[in-house]
Structure 1
Amino acid sequence: MKIAFVIFDEFTSLDFIGAYDPITRLKTMDFLPDLEWDICSFNDTITDGTGLIFTPTKVREPLTKYDLVIIPGGIGTTSLINNSQFINWIKTSGTCKVKASVCTGSLILGAAGFLRGKKATTHPNYFGELKKYCKVIDKRVVDDGNIITSRGVSSSLELGLYLCEKLSNYEAKEIIRKQMDYQHQ
C-alpha cells in the first residue's frame, strides 16, 4: 500500500497532520508493515496558511503509483481550483484506488472531476461551492466508494482513523485511537 499526502501553499497543517498521524501509525505500530507514503507537492517548498514551511519528498511527479491520495484543505484551495496546471497534476491520481480529502480539499477533488455523481462533504462555509461538483452531505466523514471526504479541520483525525479501519481493521483503528487518546466515537 502506497499513500500520497498532497500539500500546497496555504494549506491547513492540521488537515494534513490530523490524517497523517493515525495513518502512519499503521506502519509504526506494525499493523501494515509494508505501508509506504510520500509527501507530494507541485512546488519545491510549501508554506502553510500560517507561514510554517514544509519540504515535500516528491515534487510534480505523477500520482499514478499511489493506492490512496489524501488532499488537505486550506485557503490555498480557492486559487488552486482554477489553476489548470495544478488540477492536471491532481488528475494524474485518476487510477488510484481511493482519493480522500479534508475540509476544502474536496473542492480540489471536484475541480479535477472526481466528484461527479458522488456524495461529499467539506467545511460548512463551503457547502455552496462544493454543490457545483456533487451532492453535499452534512456529515463528519462521507464515504462514497473510491472517494472519502471529511468536514472541517477537526475532522482530519476522524478521517485518519476511518482510513485506518478501512486499510486494516476495526481493532487496529481502536488501538491507534486509544494510543492517541482520541475520545470521539
Structure 2
Amino acid sequence: MRVEILMYPGVSEVDAVMALHVFQIASREGAGVEAALVTSVDGEVIDGADGIRFTGLPTWRPASADVLLVCGGWIHDVIADGTVPEQIAAARRLAGPGLILGGVCAGSVVLGAAGLLTGRRATTHHPAFAELAAYTEVIDARIVDDGDVITAGGGPKSAFDLALYLIERELRDPRLSARIEQFMEHDRRGTVWR
C-alpha cells in the first residue's frame, strides 16, 4: 500500500507526522506499506501551522498511490485561495476511483472544498462540523468509511486512528493494527461509521 500524505502551506504538522508514524511502524513490521510526506509542487517549501518548515519533500504521484491523505491545519486560507483544493480534485481525476482519499481532522473540509464529498458522508474536527456541512452530510463519528473516501475527526490523534484503520481495512490485517496500537500505547477511540 503506497500512502502519500499531502503537505501544503499551513498544514498541521502533527496530523501528518502522526499518520506517517503509524505507516512507518507497519513498514518496519514487514507490512507492504510505503508512506511519504509529499508536496503537489516540485521543490515546494512548506511552512506548517506550528511553524515547522519542510524542505526537500518528494513531489506527489497520486496516479501511483493507493491512498492520498489530506490533513487539517490552517484550512481557511487554503480554501479561500483555492489552489490546493483544485490540485486535489485534479489528482483525483488523474488517479481515478482506485485512489482512496483520506481526510484527517479538518482535512475533510479541504476534500469538500475540492468537490470530492458531494453525495458522501464524512466527519471532521467538531469545531469544523458547520464548515463541512456546506459540502456533505456530517456524521458524528471518529471515522467515517464511505468506500473510497475515509475521514477521521476529533483532533490530531484521529490521524493515528485513521492510519490504523487503513492498515486493518486495506491490508486486511487487524492483528498488525492491534500490535501497532499496543506498541504506541495508543487506544483507538470512537465509532467507525460505514
Aligned to 1:17: 17
Q: Is 1:180–2:178 an aligned residue pair?
A: no
Aligned to 1:149: 151
**Alpha-carbon contact 2:20-2:35 (below 8 Å) kept:** no
TM-score (norm 2): 0.86
Aligned to 1:116: 118
Quote the offset at 1:62 in angstroms.
Answer: 5.2
Which structure's residues are more often helix, by fraction? 2
**Alpha-carbon contact 1:101-1:150 (below 8 Å) kept:** yes
Gaps of 5+ in 1: none
Given the alignment, which residue of 76, 79, 86 partners 1:78?
76
Structure 1: distance between partners of 2:134 and 2:29: 40
Q: Is 1:6–2:9 an aligned residue pair?
A: no
Q: In the superposition, relative to structure 1, how do residues 56 and 81 fare at CA in structure 2: closer, same or farther (>3 Å)?
A: farther
Aligned to 1:165: 168
TM-score (norm 1): 0.90
Aligned to 2:89: 91
Structure 1: distance between partners of 2:81 and 2:64: 23
Quote the offset at 1:84 in angstroms.
Answer: 3.4
Aligned to 1:37: 35
SS at match of 2:63: coil
SS at match of 1:99: strand
Structure 2: distance between partners of 1:134 and 1:13: 26
Structure 2: distance between partners of 1:56 and 1:71: 19
Percentage identity across paired residues of the two chains: 28
Structure 2: distance between partners of 1:86 and 1:56: 19
Amino acid at match of 1:156: A
Quote the offset at 1:56 in angstroms.
Answer: 4.9
- Name the structure, 1 or 2, with higher relative contact order (CA <8 Å, separation 6+): 1
SS at match of 2:110: helix
Q: How many residues align?
A: 181
Quote the offset at 1:130 in angstroms.
Answer: 0.3
Structure 2: distance between partners of 1:104 and 1:54: 20
Gaps of 5+ in 2: 190-194
